[in-house]
Amino acid sequence: MKTLTTTEELAQYCENARRYPYVTIDTEFLRERTYYSKLCLIQMAVPGSDDDVDAVLVDPLVDGLSLEPLYELFRDTNVVKVFHAARQDLEIFFVEEGVIPDPLFDTQVAAMVCGFGEQVGYETLVRKIAKQGLDKSSRFTDWSRRPLTDAQSKYAIADVTHLRKIYEFLASKLKETGRERWVHEELKILTTPGTYVTEPEDAWKRVKTRTTAPKFLAIVRELARFRESYAQTRNIPRNRVFKDDALIELASTKPANAGDLGRSRLLLREARKGDIADGILAAVKAGIACEPSAMPRVANAKDNQQVNPALADLLRVLLKSKTESSGVASKLIATASDLDAIASGDRDVAALSGWRREVFGEDALRLCDGQIALSAKGNSIKIVHLP
C-alpha cells in the first residue's frame, strides 16, 4: 500500500477519485491529551481490486502537506464520501477547515435502517457483509508515532477497503427497500455544522445533575462555561481542568476563597491554585449573583406527564410488532421516553415525524385515538381496524 506524503501526490489521488461514484474514508487520531482531536492518519479507497493503487494512506503529520485537495474532493457533489460512524471524523475536518463532505454516506446509520441493529460496529459489518475478519491488535496504538508498523498500516487500510463492499451492499439494500430517504433524514445531524460546535455558555447542558434548582444550575452553568473556555483556549481535555463530579461538588459547596477550594474532596490539586482556581471562584461568584430571571431552568417533562400506563404498554406492544416487521431496532424507531410522552398526549416526539411516523407513528396515533386495536395470533401481533 502507498503512503502519500506530499500535496502533489494527494492532489493526484483526489483528482483520480473524482472519476468514481464514491470514495471510502477513515481517520486515525488521538484525543486523550487534547481538547481537539489530533489528526494522525487518513485512509482512502476508490472502487477496485488492486489495493496497491486504489487504496492509500495519507500522512497529515508530514511538514508541508496541505489537505486542500481532500477538501476539494469533499466539496465535489458528484462523488459520495463514505464513512463508518462518521461523527468524530467529520468533527476533525470541520474544526480544521469548516468543511463537511457532501454528499455523505454513513454505513453505521445505513446498517441500522437495514436491520443490523443499533450502532452496529464496523467489525460486525465486515464479518456479516464482506465475510472477512479484522485484526484489531493495532486499534489502540499511538498513531502519532513514526514510522507506522506494518500491522498499523494493514489495520488502517482495512478500514476503507472492506468499507467498499459494505457500502455497495447497503446502498443496494436501501434502494431495494425504498429506505434511502430514511438515511438522508438520519444524516441531517451529521451534516449540520452546529453538531461540531460546543459553545461555552451551553456546556452546562451536558453536565448530569440530580438537582434542578435554578440557583444551583446557575452556578453549574458558570463553572461549565469557564471550564469549556479554558479547555478550548489551551487545547486540553475538559476533564483535565476539573471533572463533572468536582463541578457538582463546587456548585454545592460554593467556595469563596482558596481555603474553601483546599477542602474540596474531588478537585484536582492543580486546580486549587493559579488560573483555574481564580476561574472557579469567579464562576461561583457569578452564579450566586445571577438574577432570578436569568437563571437556567430545566422543564422536568417527566414529572408533568400524566402517562396512561395501559396505553403506554399497548404502544410498547405495537412498537415490538413494528420492529419485527420492519427489521429496524426498536430504539432507533422510538425510545421508552417517546412512548411515555405519546401516552401522555405529547405529539412533539421524534417517533411521530419523518420515516418513523411512516413505520410506527401513524399507527401509534391511531391506537391512541381508538381507531385500531391489537390482537395476538400465535407469536405475532395483528392490527385490527375498528369501525
77 in the same domain as 23: yes
pLDDT of residue 331: 86
133 in the same domain as 44: yes
| Strand partners of residue 43 | 26, 57
Q: Which of 196, 230, 257 marks a domain boundary?
A: 196
23 in the same domain as 156: yes
Q: Which of 260, 294, 328 marks a domain boundary?
A: 294
pLDDT of residue 138: 84
Give dist(CA 108, CA 5) in Å, integer. 30
Q: Which of 136, 166, 196 marks a domain boundary?
A: 196
Residue 26, all three cell numbers: 477513515
In this structure, what CATH number is given to the domain that contains residue 103?
3.30.420.10
The count of other CB atoms within 10 Å of the CB of residue 37 is: 16
105 in the same domain as 248: no
309 in the same domain as 228: no
- DSSP letter for 238, please: H
Per-residue pLDDT tens digits of the chain, which is 387 residues long: 899 999 999 999 999 999 999 999 999 999 999 999 999 999 999 999 888 889 999 999 999 999 999 999 999 999 999 999 999 999 999 999 999 999 999 999 999 999 998 889 999 999 999 999 988 888 889 999 999 999 999 999 999 999 999 999 999 999 999 999 999 999 999 999 999 999 999 999 999 999 999 999 999 999 999 999 999 999 999 999 999 999 999 999 999 999 999 999 999 999 999 999 999 999 999 999 999 999 998 865 455 568 899 999 999 999 999 999 999 988 889 999 999 999 999 999 999 999 999 999 999 999 999 999 999 888 889 999 998
- pTM of the entire predicted model: 0.90
99 in the same domain as 222: no
CB 183 within 8 A of CB 116: no
285 in the same domain as 248: yes
Q: How many domains does the chain have?
A: 3
In this structure, what CATH number is given to the domain that contains residue 370?
1.10.150
> 30: part of which helix (H) or strand (E)?
strand 22-30
208 in the same domain as 191: no
Give SS3 for 366: helix
In this structure, what CATH number is given to the domain that contains residue 226?
1.10.150.80
Nearest to 157 by CA among 314, 285, 294, 1: 1
Residue range of the domain that includes 289: 200-294
Give SS3 for 334: coil
258 in the same domain as 117: no
